Amino acid sequence: MRTMLFSLVSTLAVAAALPAFAADKLTIYTYESFTSEWGPGPQVKKAFEAECGCEVDFVSVADGVALLNRVKLEGKSTKADIVLGLDTNLTAEAKETGLFAPSGVDLTNVKVPGGWSDDTFVPFDYGYFAVIYNTETLKNPPKSLKELVDGDANEKIAIQDPRTSTPGLGLLLWVKSVYGDKAPEAWAKLKNRVLTVTPGWSESYGLFTKGEAPMVLSYTTSPAYHMVAEKTDKYQAAPFEEGHYLQVEVAGITTTGAENPLAKKFMEFMVSPGFQDTIPETNWMFPAGKTEKPLDPAFDRLVKPAKTLAISAEDITANRKAWVEEWLGVMSK
Amino acid sequence: MSPQATEGGAGGSAGLDPKSSTAASPPPPAFGRTLPSRGREARDSRITAGVIALGAIAILIGGAFVGLILEGVNDLSGAIAAFDGYLFRVARFTLWQAALSTLFSVVPALFVARALSRHPHFPGRGLILRLFAVPLALPAIVAALGVLALYGRAGYLAGLLTKISGGDWPGIYGLSGILVAHVFFNLPLATRLFLEALNAVPTDQWRLASQLGMSARAGFRLIEWPALRASLPGVAGLVFMLCITSFTIVLTLGGGPRASTLEVAIYQSLRFDFDPARAVALTLLQILLTLAVVAVLMRLGANVTGDANLSVAPRRYISSGRGETALDAALIALGLAFVAGPMLATVLSGLESDLMRLAGEATVQSAAATSLILACLAALLCVMLTLALAMARRALQLQRKAAGEKSFLEHMTDTGAGFVLVVPPIVIGAGWFVLLRHAGNVFALAPVMVVTVNAVMAMPFALRAVRPAYDAASERHERLCAQLGIRGWSRLRLIEWPVLRRPLSTAFAFAMALSLGDLGVIALFGSDSVQTLPYLLLARMGAYRTADAAGLALLLGLICLALMALADRLGKDTAQ
């Protein structure tokens, strides 16, 4: 009887100790296109697992804004050690939740337009939002945001929902930075050109490449994918006179991850060439750090924004909810 | 299509109430006296089981309301502020699309039903009617995909539609897509119900009409229209109710905030915005709306069984002219094409996909396994709860013979399960979602939520299969059991199981099919780690991996149809 009791107790003790072994696991919340088989996820996982001798577990949600919502919803009890895929439009709000810890990462190798000094979030890539169009079905692409808004309503565009998607939010801010208080009127016109509003970037881009829409909101870097991987110039970015809105994608360590030494290790890995080398040709964005091999020449043929647009993080934090509701109000009419 | 099916069950169980209670002939008065213990005994184990079942349902629904109320009180200003223009626009769209869907389903159904009723020997009539029963059994997401595969921008008819419309076919996202899908579901349903009404017209009337040499027009005015008009409000009300609580169709075919219903907005406010206060406001409005519709339905005395038994067409004395026959044939053909089109598209596009690769995919296999396990558990729970309610109701009824008045408990066992129909699954899910988020990882609770909500949602249906059988069995064996002192488990195992095996299997298959096709609860609680087939289907559809989605839809559709056919078969055999 006593041995039985002993074995029972020891089994329980082992069971209780299991979470300690689980510390050899790193849980990263990210967006869907990052973990898809053609995204950076699989390569990053392989490279980092080889380096750390641990297990990387990706959990994916539709897109960047949904990512923040998910973490907010889970609060302190979140399983995420790292949240990867927020952008600069969300960082201030993410910090306010108190769910993120300082990264402690050396930022000297980080290179993004406008420089970087945030102590919590670390950039891993950047890009400029752009309207991508199919040169075979759209002969006269819009040359400015104004032309996009005022153009032929029969030529449709697929966009993303700002409530879930960072490109969706990006377009909202882009329109805001060009139109200011007149943004609702602009959306009321643009609405007629919108084929559908998808929750994440991958849905709308899929819709576009399937030929369901001649235009899609994406990045200036998206055509590089088609040039490099598909050897076609069929899809191009439309340069806009007003300039293009900048997106810097970042990752941050959660308060849960602050307890896990692997989290910081991953963040350091993230700004190293091991990670950065995979970014240009899997996530199809500009790397935010040093790479070992140079970018494919196709990246030189991409649209270079005449002007970089950005709204300050404070303004966004103060107004995001109101602006999104304003958008929802117009779009639901 | 869970709301469709569950709603069908609502009327079913409600419709049975008077019948089953009158059918059970009162036992002789001596019965109570020969078994004095039974009369006085407050709780027979069957009643305890019923109380437990009712308690479980109450916890499920009550818990959801507690979650919603707590959240509302917690963030009162937020909940009040959520009653804004957006909310009312969504409510308006919800009503508008439901009204249009009802109009486009019910009016053509009148004509198709009339045409079918006038031509009992129309070639393939039986087959057509059986085909018209298929949408009831089809998960909504499968139908949505079928509609897209047919009318979508890249659908089979896109080329034709482009030519007809002159310009580029814009596809059917938005209101048009929602309407087409709703009509696909409800036109056949309404047709079957109208046909049932027409079949109920006494043959004498037709004979008389024929003897008097009534023209088709006069026959319509004097015989058919009165029959149709009588069932019109009920049928229209049912269709309206189904469209107002439609979730999957609007989610998949709506294509953005412009075409969003309250249910989809509830889902978005939790999964997109994470704005619980808004979810509470939306939920409140949704419940008020459904309550109002149910109240109107009850006043109209709607026959919402959706289970017309159409195998025997009465003899007809109609001689239709050639022109009329051609017109009717055209009407039937149009209706058939509309209903069969998306089904055919589902099958064709499903076969075009790489089924072998799909079947070999680990994600698909695990989603299929998850789906089957959860559906089995939901069905099992549903059958257990249903049996408990049926037993308790019967036991209470027997006890009452001495006492007289129906007790509150008996009322609850009688109609309690019907309450779940007023509360859409999304609402229950939303309530638990906001309640549980404080308790940690809500996504880990997905299996529990899927099983319990689907089990309870299928109960009104299951009751329809189980209760009459149980009452009949009890009628036959009650005294024998009492005399021999057989009770509890041994009674269930020895006496009831052999008789109830079939109806229980019917209920099981039905509940399983409903649960398999459900997208409402899993849409809220699903995540990478817990995926069911409909959830995976939605994800693939979202990622525009259309071929994969088509293959999965075919698979899911076939499983559900097979289960429904099995349920139907078992049910029919029991009835005989």
Report pLDDT for B403.
63
**Is A69 in CB contact (< 8 Å) with chain B?**
yes
Closest chain A CA to residue B278: A325
Q: Has residue A8 been placed in a domain? A: no
Q: Has residue A171 been placed in a domain? A: yes
Q: Has residue A146 been placed in a domain? A: yes
DSSP string covering B71-87: HHHHTHHHHHHTSSHHH
Read off the pTM: 0.78
Q: How far apart are CA B302 and CA A170, in angstroms?
A: 50
Q: How far apart are CA B98 and CA B241, in angstroms?
A: 8
DSSP state of B67: H
What pLDDT digit, counting tens, does each position of B158-184 carry?
Answer: 778 878 877 767 677 788 899 999 999
What pLDDT digit, counting tens, does each position of A230-240 carry?
Answer: 889 999 999 99
* A101 and A228, same domain (yes or no): no
Please state whether beta strands A82-87 and A55-61 pair in parallel, antiparallel, or not at all (unpaired): unpaired
Q: Are B274 and A69 in contact (CB < 8 Å)?
A: yes
What pLDDT digit, counting tens, does each position of A274-289 carry?
Answer: 999 999 988 889 999 8
A209 contacts in B (CB within 8 Å)?
544
* Of B451, B384, B383, B387, nearest in space to B60 by CA: B451
What pLDDT digit, counting tens, does each position of B452-467 carry?
Answer: 999 998 888 788 888 8
Q: Are B256 and A211 in contact (CB < 8 Å)?
A: no
User: Which residues in chain B (32-51) have CB-CB distances under 8 A to chain A?
Assistant: none
* A175 and A251, same domain (yes or no): no
* A165 and A236, same domain (yes or no): yes
Q: Are A331 and B256 in contact (CB < 8 Å)?
A: yes
Angle of the B408-415 helix axis to the B2-23 helix axis, nearest 10: 130
Token readout for B239 is: 């269709």
Token readout for B189 is: 């349903």
Nearest to A66 among B154, B256, B272 (CB): B272
Q: Are A210 and B546 in contact (CB < 8 Å)?
A: yes
Report pLDDT for A145.
94
What is the H or E stretch that residue B238 is in? helix B225-244
* A142 and A90, same domain (yes or no): no
* A156 and A71, same domain (yes or no): no
Q: Has residue A3 been placed in a domain? A: no
Report pLDDT for B315.
55
Q: How far apart are CA B518 and CA A75, in angstroms?
A: 29
Above 90 in pLDDT, residue B314?
Answer: no
* A229 and A319, same domain (yes or no): yes
Q: Has residue A6 been placed in a domain? A: no
* A131 and A111, same domain (yes or no): no
Instruction: Give the length of chain B.
Output: 576
* A241 and A259, same domain (yes or no): no
DSSP state of B310: -
Report pLDDT for B202.
79
* Of B550, B171, B540, B539, nearest in space to A214 by CA: B171
Q: How far apart are CA B174 and CA A331, in angstroms?
A: 12
Q: Has residue A65 been placed in a domain? A: yes
> Which amino acid is residue B358, in one-letter code?
L
CATH of the domain at A133: 3.40.190.10
What pLDDT digit, counting tens, does each position of B199-255 carry?
Answer: 888 778 878 888 888 887 888 888 888 888 888 888 888 888 889 888 888 988 887
Q: How far apart are CA B162 and CA B169, in angstroms?
A: 5
**Cα angle, residue A172 at apex, residues A169 and A174 outer, rounded to 5°:** 110
Q: Has residue A13 been placed in a domain? A: no
Closest chain B CA to residue A212: B153
User: Which segment, A64-73, A254-263, B524-533, is predicted with the most confidence on average?
Assistant: A254-263
Q: What is the mean pLDDT of chain B?
A: 80
Domain range for A275 is 25-126+247-301
* A315 and A187, same domain (yes or no): yes
B171 contacts in A (CB within 8 Å)?
195, 212
Q: Which residues touch A59 (CB under 8 Å, ≥6 apart)? A: A27, A28, A29, A30, A79, A80, B527, B528, B529
Closest chain A CA to residue B86: A329
Total domains, chain A: 2
Contact in structure between A115 and A123 (CB atoms under 8 Å)? no
Q: Has residue A227 been placed in a domain? A: yes
Q: How far apart are CA B78 and CA B281, in angstroms?
A: 9
The stretch B254-278 carries a mean pLDDT of 82
* A105 and A185, same domain (yes or no): no
Q: How far apart are CA B258 and CA A333, in angstroms?
A: 6
* A232 and A131, same domain (yes or no): yes
* A31 and A92, same domain (yes or no): yes
For the ranges A13-27, A81-95, A185-199, B282-296, the lowest mean pLDDT is seen at A13-27
